[in-house]
Every structure is written in C-alpha cells, then in structure tokens.
C-alpha cells in the first residue's frame, strides 16, 4: 500500500541536526528536479530589502511571514529532521506518527509518501529542513511547480507504487504533480470526507479524518490489495464508507467517508 499525503503549511523548526543531504532522499530519480527547485528557491530568498519583498510575493506570504523567506535562504545549512517530524497541522496531529507502536512506524516508513513543492515527494523518514514553498508557487525561472514536477513524477512514481493499492489523500494542488494512469489508476482510491446528514464536503474535519484513517490502517496492520479491499478494511475499522467504482478502464475509485462532526 502506498499512501499519498499533502504536506502541511505549518512546519516544525529544523532543529540542530546535520544539514540536508539531497542525495540521501528517497526516490533518487527526483534528484535533478529537487536540485533545480532548491537552487532557485535559495537564490530567490537570499536577497534583502526589495528582493525579500519579491520573494514574499512569489511565495504568497504575508508581511508577518517574512521570517519564512530568511528560513528558505538557509536551506542548505539548516538542521534537518525526519519529514514526519517536520510536517505538523491537523492531518499530522490526527495521524500521530510519534505515538504509533514500533510495527506501525515501520509500516508508515514503507507506505507514506508526502508530496511537496520543494522536494516533489519524500518518505516520512527522509531528513529535510523546515521550509516554505507550496505546490501552487510559480518560480520566476522554473514556472509553476505542479508542472515542473509532472515529468519526473511520471517517471518515478509508477515504480514507487509497485503492484499494490494507492490511497490518494492529497489536496487538489498537490494532485497536479502526478496523476496515476492506466493500471495504476485502477488500483488507486481517492477520498472525500462528507458530513453524513447533508452530504456536504467538510473543511477542517476533512484533514483530521484523513489522518485518523491512515492511523487506523497502520495500527491495524491492514494490507488491502486494492480499492475494494480498502473499503472493507475501513468499514471493519469503524469508518462509514460509500464507494463509487470507476466508470471505465484506467480510472481511480472514489470513496466518501461520512462523519457527523463538521468543525
């Protein structure tokens, strides 16, 4: 099982660990594309005065987040930590990687792949510094990051997906970087979280529910072979799920997880 996750806007600090080793990251086929984004991002954020204002504008940051520009300028020398410790926020709080038992942590290391505007995609065990660069950013030299990642992802991700289930929990911006195709799509399931009584898409609770789904699968040691088996596994774990099989070949399954909480 491969689980595709979005990153979080908020991130923990880099800490005092050894700096980034770009070549040590998982999915080495993405190394060239990673280096290109890293080089331009560091250069963009390394100026002062008007240059910092330009960087904030490119990154879509408010004046109050000016410190994020300086943080990006130091990406090559900042301490690095496992990505599972860097990413915070509602989904990751609900997932609770640090509180999983040892077996579930090993499953997380094998199964979870976090998409990123800067790194493309990383495992939760990959050591990265804290950064600010969403997939929606359009860098002056490279252009839109979603488009930048599309070709290298198309080369690397099918192999990473192997022959098993792909559970796609990414938000729309991060889904632009890679869309499963062909037989990979046929064993992919996307998830919406709906308010049960109204069938409306929920906002905050969407992320929390997705984090809990992943935690429950990892904790139970569930290994669904495909989308149909995933539906049964989630129901066995107490989730209310409605499934829509694809209308034709080469398309993903769509799952609706129903919740009563909407906050």
Domain residue spans in the chain? 2-259
Q: Which of 202, 178, 177 is nearest to 188 (CA)?
A: 178
pLDDT recorded at residue 200: 87
Q: And the tokens for 135?
A: 């997939």
pLDDT attached to residue 158: 97
156 within 8 A of 23, measured Cβ to Cβ: no
Q: How far apart are CA 84 and CA 75, in angstroms?
A: 18
Residue burial 166-198, b: 16+ Cβ < 10 Å; e: rest: bbbbbbebbbbbbebeeebbbbbbbbbbbebee
Q: pLDDT tens for the chain, 263 residues: list them.
A: 999 999 998 899 888 889 999 999 999 999 999 999 999 999 999 988 889 999 999 999 999 898 999 999 999 999 999 999 999 999 999 999 999 999 999 999 999 999 999 999 999 999 999 999 999 999 999 999 999 999 999 999 999 999 999 999 999 999 999 999 999 999 999 999 998 888 888 877 899 999 999 999 999 999 999 999 999 999 999 999 999 999 889 999 999 999 987 65
Q: Which residue shows structure tokens 């694809």?
A: 246
Residue 112 — φ and ψ, nearest 5°?
A: -90, 135
Q: pTM of the full predicted structure?
A: 0.95
- pLDDT at residue number 224: 96
- Confidence (pLDDT) at 34: 98
pLDDT at 263: 54
Q: What is the pLDDT of residue 107?
A: 98
Q: Whole-angstrom Cα distance, residue 44 to residue 46? A: 6
Is 123 in contact with 113 (CB distance < 8 Å)? Answer: yes
pLDDT on residue 8:
93
Q: CA geometry: angle at 243 spanning 238 and 244, to 5°? A: 175
């Amino acid at each position: 099982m491969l689980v595709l996750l979005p990153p979080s806007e908020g991130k923990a600090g880099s800490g005092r660990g050894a700096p980034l080793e770009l070549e040590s990251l998982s999915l080495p086929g993405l190394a060239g594309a990673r280096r290109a984004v890293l080089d331009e991002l560091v250069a963009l954020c390394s100026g002062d005065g008007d240059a910092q204002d330009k960087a904030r504008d490119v990154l879509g940051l408010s004046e109050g987040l000016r410190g994020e520009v300086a943080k990006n300028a130091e990406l090559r020398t900042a301490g690095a930590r496992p990505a599972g410790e860097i990413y915070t926020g509602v989904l990751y709080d609900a997932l609770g990687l640090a509180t999983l038992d040892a077996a579930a942590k090993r499953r997380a290391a094998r199964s979870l792949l976090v998409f990123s505007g800067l790194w493309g995609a990383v495992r939760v065990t990959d050591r990265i510094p804290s950064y600010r660069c969403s997939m929606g950013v359009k860098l002056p030299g490279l252009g839109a990051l979603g488009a930048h990642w599309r070709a290298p992802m198309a080369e690397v991700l099918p192999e990473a997906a192997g022959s098993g289930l792909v559970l796609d929990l990414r938000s729309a911006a991060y889904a632009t970087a890679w869309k499963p195709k062909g037989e990979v799509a046929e064993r992919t399931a996307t998830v919406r979280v709906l308010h049960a009584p109204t069938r409306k898409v929920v906002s905050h609770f969407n992320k929390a529910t997705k984090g809990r789904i992943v935690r429950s699968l990892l904790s139970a040691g569930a290994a669904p072979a495909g989308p149909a088996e995933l539906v049964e596994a989630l129901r066995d774990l107490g989730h209310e799920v409605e499934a829509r099989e694809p209308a034709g070949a080469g398309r993903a399954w769509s799952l609706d997880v129903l919740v009563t909480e909407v906050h």
